[in-house]
Amino acid sequence: MSKDTLKDNVETVDKEAEISIIGNPNVGKTSLFNLLTGTKQYVANWPGVTVEKKIGSFKYKGKTFKLVDLPGVYTLSAKSEDERVAKDYLISNTSEIVIVVADALNLESSMFLLFQLIEIGVKTILVINSVDEAREKGRIIDPSPISKTLNIPVILTSAKTGEGKEELLEEAYKLSKEKNLTKKKIMYPEEIENFINFFQDKVSKYPKISSKYQNYIDSSWLPIYFLEFGSEDLELPQDFLTELKENFDIEDLKNKYLNWKFNFISYLVSSSIIKEGIDWSLRDILDHVFTHKILGILIYVFALFAVFSLTFSLAQPLSDLLDSAFTFLGNSISEFVTIPWLESLLVDGVIAGVGGVLVFIPQIFILFFFLGFLEESGYLPRAAFLVDRIARNFGLSGRSFMSIILGFGCNVPAIISTKTIANKKERLALILSLPFASCSARLPVYILLISAFFSTHAATIMLLVYLSSIALVLISSKFLQRFITQSEDIPFIIELPRFRMPTLKNLSIYTWNRGKHFLQKAGGIILIATVLIWLLSFFPNFGTDINSSFAASIGRVFEPLTNHLGWDWRINTGLIFGVAAKEIVVSSYATIFNVGEGSLTYALQNALTPASALALIFFVMAYIPCFATLATIKAETNGWKWAIFSFIYTTVVAYLIANLVFFVGGIFL
């Protein structure tokens, strides 16, 4: 490469520009983010998935663009924490360009947010997404009327097929090159314009406000925001508010403004839609069936039963294959390693412990694949809609159901997702109750015990556990709101997404994102815990008698509390180590019982009765959250108080449930 060529290349590389993506919930923001950046953020088919901003980057024509995916919002009037994240980020004025994503089949609802961004004065691109689905329904959209009226680029895209990607990149590049872009201005009726001019003139005389909103003093955003949402978030001085009220009838002006805005948006959207398309489709019929108050609940229970049945039937052959592989590996190592303690560490500790968890990988990935199908297809938001009526009796809204479903994967993102709940008291009650949502780390324990004691009714027992988990979250929330947090009833509004056939790519991302934690934990915390448990089991008598080991001493401390449940020190020790991560319960048993997964089944059958095994399943379902969940509770509640409460609360509840299940189970089993 010559020096001249090198010089030319260096000169064509521009500085980094920042773009943010915003839009209503469930319009395809994260799909567009993935399309532009090539990343693999999971895209769910319901609102509230993006509760915090995600950041990525891409290059186009030698220029690097930083891309920020903001949570879904309907307006910049922030109430919940995720809405506040979006508003604060946009008001901070760090994004050079803002992409507003709208749904081609629900264009009108996105226009209110678009207007607010134009009023702020940022460089704006309107992306009308999902045009492929609009075409399927016969809807044809012409973007030029919106583009000409508002003087902004309008691009038709499909984040699913990649349509419109190049046009969007080109428009973003053009805007990033324009340094002296004329700010767009919406022309309001004379009365509104007079108010805006008066507001801007007066506000400049208040240094505190001028300083706080220095970037927006000349824009119409501040007076229009005041007119539309009031002064609560703006912290305007009382004398300034008095002056405004003396010169204008604010309530009357607000009504006139809203009327004008609704009419203007309605005209703008209707002028852009050349053909409306069909209103009634198979998807609409399915909507009516799946959201029926009785039939819908039956379908939901059947769907979960089908998922668990398929999980057990499809995964067992693969699980058996993995178990055989680990048994072969253990036998091979025994032949080559002649030092007794090292052989015991590798075979009885590492392979038995870590392998005992890894054999459940097929069940875990298959379960998440089918749950991902339900979620990605748009079915689970409808389940949330159905559950709303039931959840309301427990002081929660259907939105909480989404957090519970997330909790089936992992309690940590489930607790973080409560940021979408505006009512702080409901949110706290839910945070403290979500550890009862049966996370996937508990799944290996369920599968192990169900396979050992209830193999002929595996799917039924699993369904019972998960439904009990949901019921426990609801009852706990009601209890906490009644005696601790005193919450109020709140309305639940959800915009149901359209039914979509899930893409294999998105299902793969979903399954991998949920399941990979097992592989990561196997190489980290489970391996470390396995070695620690082996040490405690091997010493102080060098493996001659595990009944007099340190592990036995630890487990025996709790025997007075668990003997009547049929749990001896071996069961107790596994539960103690499971506090770090629930998968460790299985690896602990594999090490303590000194067997592989297949033999562990028989070992547990000799150690437990069916009733004590069922009590153990329900205890694991409810007891102490893992360390990561406790840390998240501490972070989301700004202190250790509620994390410590959760530790004690869940332990007491789990113990009570285990006793109840053992008593009732003893009658029937």
Known binder of ligand: residue 578?
A: no
Long-range contacts of 472-475 (CB under 8 A, 24+ apart): 472/433, 472/436, 472/621, 472/622, 472/653, 472/657, 473/404, 473/407, 473/430, 473/433, 473/434, 473/436, 473/437, 474/390, 474/391, 474/394, 474/396, 474/433, 475/394
Task: Give the phi and the psi of residue 56 in degrees, each rounded to 5.
Answer: -145, -170
Residue 648 burial (CB < 10 Å; 0-12/13-18/19+)?
exposed
Known binder of ligand: residue 574?
A: no
Known binder of ligand: residue 130?
A: yes
Hey, how many other C-beta atoms are within 10 angstroms of the C-beta on 426? 24
At residue 248, the 3 state secondary structure works out as coil
| Rounded Cα–Cα distance for residues 380 and 461 (Å) | 22
Known binder of ligand: residue 154?
A: no
Known binder of ligand: residue 129?
A: yes
CA geometry: angle at 179 spanning 177 and 181, to 5°?
105
Known binder of ligand: residue 24?
A: yes
Residues 6 or more apart whose CB falls under 8 angstroms from that of 667 comprise: none
CA 288 centroid distance within chain: 26
| Rounded Cα–Cα distance for residues 392 and 487 (Å) | 12
Known binder of ligand: residue 296?
A: no
Provide the pairing of β-strand 273-275 with 140-141: antiparallel
List the structure tokens of 436: 């009862």
Known binder of ligand: residue 23?
A: yes
Known binder of ligand: residue 132?
A: yes
Known binder of ligand: residue 122?
A: no
| Rounded Cα–Cα distance for residues 413 and 636 (Å) | 11
Give the DSSP per-residue string, 564-607: GGT--HHHHHHHHHTTT-THHHHHHHHHHTT--HHHHHHHHHHH
Q: At what angle do helices 504-522 and 361-376 cross, to 10 degrees?
A: 150
CA 1 centroid distance within chain: 49
Known binder of ligand: residue 34?
A: yes
Known binder of ligand: residue 149?
A: no
List the structure tokens of 102: 């709208």
Known binder of ligand: residue 203?
A: no
List the structure tokens of 299: 């379908």
Nearest to 386 by CA among 480, 301, 482, 475: 301
Known binder of ligand: residue 28?
A: yes
Known binder of ligand: residue 69?
A: yes
Which residues lie across from 20 on neighbouring strands? 68, 98
Known binder of ligand: residue 49?
A: yes
| Rounded Cα–Cα distance for residues 153 and 146 (Å) | 9
Q: What is the 3-state secondary structure (H, E, C) of 410-476?
A: CHHHHHHHHHHCCCHHHHHHHHHHHHHCCCHHHHHHHHHHHHHHCHHHHHHHHHHHHHHHHHHHHHH
| Rounded Cα–Cα distance for residues 388 and 564 (Å) | 39
Question: Using the 8-state DSSP alphabet, how is residue 158 labeled?
Answer: B
Known binder of ligand: residue 174?
A: no
Known binder of ligand: residue 93?
A: no
Annotated binding site for Mg(2+): 34, 37-38
Annotated binding site for GTP: 23-30, 48-52, 69-72, 129-132
Annotated binding site: 23-30, 34, 37-38, 48-52, 69-72, 129-132
